[in-house]
Amino acid sequence: MVEYLRLGSTGIEVSQACLGTWMFGTKSPSGSEIVTEEVALSILDSAWDSGVNFIDTANVYGRGSSEEYIGKWLTGLNRRPLVLTGDDLANARRTSTVATVLQHPLPRF
């Protein structure tokens, strides 16, 4: 069972478990992806189904593949998890696949 915490004074509740996505699209020394898009989407589905709504990503994870995979995954959801990115959010709103999919601006902390 996933437990939730209030994120500061925002009123947003996030799962105590945060899914880190730094391996999504990252290449091994041989050049193959360690976590392919198909596997990444499956991991995201499993985390969501388990109650995880807190996802860590950044535009450097997998050279941008992590955000691309998450953006594709978000397209099919009716609810929005909280996605925090290591990139500056103002810049991400202009360039990020994830930010493009989100219909409402992300709060700044």
- Amino acid letter, 53: N
**C-alpha to C-alpha distance for 49 and 13, rounded to whole angstroms:** 16
Identified catalytic residue from 47, 53, 55, 61 = 61
Contacts of 88 (CB under 8 A, 6+ apart): none
Show Cβ contacts of residue 68 under 8 Å, excluding neighbours closer than 6 positions: 25, 37, 97
The verdict on whether 61 is a catalytic residue reads yes
* Residue 35: DSSP 8-state: B
Query: Token digits for 15?
Result: 């799962």
* Cβ neighbour number for residue 69 with a 10 Å cutoff: 27
Instruction: State the catalytic residues.
Output: 61
